[in-house]
A and B are shown apart, each in its own frame.
Chain A
Amino acid sequence: MNLKRLIIIFFLFFISLNANENNNKLTEIYKNLRCLVCQGQSVADSNSEFASTLKLVVQDQVKEGKSADEIYEFLISKYGEWIVYNPPFNKKNFFLWVLPYLFLILGGLFIYVLIRKNRHNKAN
């Protein structure tokens, strides 16, 4: 029936995908590093001198077997937290990570209370 046809069309789309592995680990790291001399670009996107040197350093460290987190820590110790796009979860950045979820919960509570209060009114 209709549903079957739809499912077949989707299958056909995916077949053309040619099973691929996930992104290169290196590219992931490059994307998370900020180019210090550019105006808002990651090391992956930048063509600057600094970006190309940094890529070499990251390649070396990955070959040595360092994990992504170790590499980030190393670079943060040399250049400060500004160089990493994923802000680490520490005291400083606590509110950054917590506030959105706090808001989500409060918003949900608010709606819940609103509807609850209304059920009450309806019952009365």
Chain B
Amino acid sequence: MLNNTGHLLIFLVMFLSLTIIYKSYLELKINSQKISNSIYQLSLFQCTFAISSFLVLIVAFINSDFSLINVYENSHSAKPLFYKIAGAWGNHEGSLLLWINILVIFSYFFLIFNFNHLKKFRLLTLIIQNLLILGFVIFLLKNSNPFSALEPVPSEGLGLNPILQDPALAIHPPLLYLGFVGCSIYFSAAMASMLANYRGKSFALSIKSWVLISWCFQTLGIIVGSIWAYYELGWGGFWFWDPVENASLLPWFAITALMHSVMVLEKRDNLYSWVIILCLLTFILSVTGTFLVRSGILNSVHTFASDPARGIYILIFLSLMILSSLVIFFKFYKKENYSFNFKSKETFILINNWFMTFFLVTVFIGTLYPIFLDVLTDVKISVGPPFYNIVIIPLVIPLLLLMVFGPQFNWINSNKFFSTKLIILILGAVGVNLFIFFIFGSYSFLTNLIFISSIFLIFYSLIELKKVLQKKIKFNLPRIISHLGFGMLVLFIGINHQYSLEDDFNLKVGDEKKFSHYEIFFDDIKLKEETNYKAVIGNFRVKNIKNDTTQSLNPEIRIYANPETLTYEAAIKTRISSDLYLTMSNISRSDFYNIKFQNKPFMIWIWISALTIVLGGFLQLLNRRNEN
């Protein structure tokens, strides 16, 4: 019964898309400046049906209705309620339904919030967005239907994968999709803008909030994913430059560049073509990312179960999107006059874009190169963290410095370049760095520069922050906070990377191991039985010889029955100054256990810095709300 309801609702969404496209097309020819109520109503109905279909799926999961293949494959009656619900979007078909929901919801809200913009522009945006919706709905119905029925109805489901039962992982997809899919709306708006010749400042104002919203959620989604990886996956890292991770980072660079460029378009009515390119590029990158992740073309620890037919469909959709955007772009392109000064904010935003695009190109090439090589020469290579670190890190240094200088310049023209205060700040940063260098042990020249430039940005931002709080300057608080967060992020990642202690060794129960200034005692093993797993818990004491403190850590090996899986739970002790990280895994046919021990300085500050970056974004959104 549920499957029929779900099917019906999706068909209604599809039917409404067609109707909206048709009616909007007709409305374009009418002269009045108002959009008729019927279009609003149709959009609202479309929203309602889409959301309802998603609720139907969630209800099916809550009720463990195994007559739906999707529920059967991804759920189990013994799953806790929260994870049953999260299971609705934690699989390919369900997440696709979530995509469609976001497409529809953003379509509706863009329509009603942009009421003071050109009718032709708004209708064209609606039409193009609905073409996207249509494409995804057809894909869902033909290939990835969450409402497909199963007969006879099985008594129990398959899906109790313990790794997926984690709160961070439950909210990671919705957050990320708000970013990924949210950028569809300004893709459509960009196409509409070209077709309707609705350019310049007005266009910038229509998409500004949407760019900001998608940026905030994309960033947050990536952060939550990293936090999950750190706490749950047991390798002590949070970013692996895995192709699936890169697929979420590519749009992020584009949205960041776009966010800055939209400012130029709004304030100076310049860079229109570039803004259009970025709008188109972002969603194209999102769909490319989806293609890479779901088609099975890549080998990664994150990939969904793959299906070649899926890949073909997404590729066709992607091709149509790219080709149509190219054709329209070239047809409607008008040469622009870039009339800005060298010593102006516009130049620095252009430079920011240059850096963002460089990072984007690097990650893009790194991720795709193995595929190219394999297809063209039949040779397989791996491109991993060393490549990205070598290419990207050096460029972060000038970026940090520019993040201090850039915002100081005024729009149009600026006279100042270097002030004595800035010079003092640089010297202060150099000083702190030298202190670290000489007292605590040397490190590479590059690391020196990273520390100096990130501390410089942090100092500068803190001083600006103080000024704002003392009401000396009113604006720019969001920018200061986000830039401060970025400086902090680079600094703490740098320190973490530089000063992390790691060791990997094999121990038997009763053994002890000494390394660096730690002594690790493997006291004993306890067995515990939980409701859906058996646990082998190790009791370890970690003694810090320097300050004679001891911590106890209890990593686990969990044996799940349904499906039979083994997971390794790391023992993590988080403190302000560092994290202690211990994992234990068994070695087959041996009494020994493989132990990985890490001391990771300032881990929690990495998360705090990253969240600070997002905080700036949300503050900016609030500001805009208050403005309007």
Contact = CB atoms under 8 A, between A and B. Distances in A.
Interface of A: 2-3, 6-7, 10-11, 13-14, 16-24, 26-27, 30-32, 34, 38-42, 44-45, 47, 49, 52, 55, 80-87, 92-93, 95-97, 99-101, 103-104, 107-108, 111, 114-115, 117-119, 121-122
Interface stretch (B43-51, B149-157, B161-169, B423-431): B423-431
Given A11-B432, A40-B243, 8 more contacts: A10-B432, A32-B386, A40-B299, A83-B382, A85-B383, A97-B387, A104-B354, A114-B350
Interface string B365-377: 1100100010001
A75 B383 CA distance: 16
A34 B362 CA distance: 21
A15 to B, nearest CB: 9
Nearest to B347: A115
B502 interface: yes
A50 B260 CA distance: 47
B381 interface: yes
A99 B391 CA distance: 11
25 contacts: A2-B463, A3-B459, A3-B463, A11-B432, A13-B602, A17-B577, A18-B517, A20-B516, A22-B441, A26-B504, A40-B301, A42-B240, A44-B235, A80-B380, A81-B382, A83-B382, A85-B383, A85-B384, A85-B387, A86-B387, A87-B381, A93-B381, A96-B369, A111-B350, A115-B347
Interface stretch (B10-18, B314-322, B334-342): B334-342
A12 to B, nearest CB: 10
A92 to B, nearest CB: 7
A113 B463 CA distance: 35
Describe A's contact surface by its main secondary structure: helix
B425 A3 contact: yes
B439 interface: yes
Contacts of A26: 504
B432 A85 contact: no
Contacts of B435: 11, 14
A52 B594 contact: yes
A31 B369 contact: no
Nearest to A55: B504
B385 interface: yes
A47 B569 CA distance: 13
Contact of A39 (B299, B386, B387, B504): B299
Nearest to B590: A52
Given A11-B435, A14-B435, A92-B373, A100 B237 contact: no
Contact of A34 (B302, B377, B384): B384
Contacts of B237: 45
B501 to A, nearest CB: 6
B585 interface: yes
Contacts of A84: 382
Contacts of B594: 47, 52
B350 A39 contact: no
A41 B301 contact: yes
B235 A45 contact: yes
CB-based closest 6 A-B pairs: A85-B384, A86-B386, A45-B235, A47-B585, A40-B301, A100-B362
Interface stretch (B87-95, B193-201, B492-500, B609-617): B492-500
Contacts of A87: 369, 381-383, 387
A103 B361 contact: yes
A22 B384 contact: no
B235 A108 contact: no
Contacts of A107: 354, 357-358
A68 to B, nearest CB: 11
A122 B466 CA distance: 39
A50 B599 CA distance: 26
Given A23-B502, A85-B383, A107-B354, A40 B338 contact: no
A96 B439 contact: no
A96 B383 contact: yes
Contacts of B384: 32, 34, 42, 85-86
B174 interface: no
Contacts of B546: 18
A6 B379 CA distance: 53
Nearest to A80: B380
B588 interface: yes
Contacts of A108: 354
Given A17-B495, A42-B384, A92 B379 contact: yes
B363 to A, nearest CB: 9
Contacts of B599: 20
A19 B435 CA distance: 12
Contact of A24 (B235, B369, B455, B502): B502
Interface in B162-211: none
A115 B628 CA distance: 35
Contact of A16 (B350, B390, B577): B577
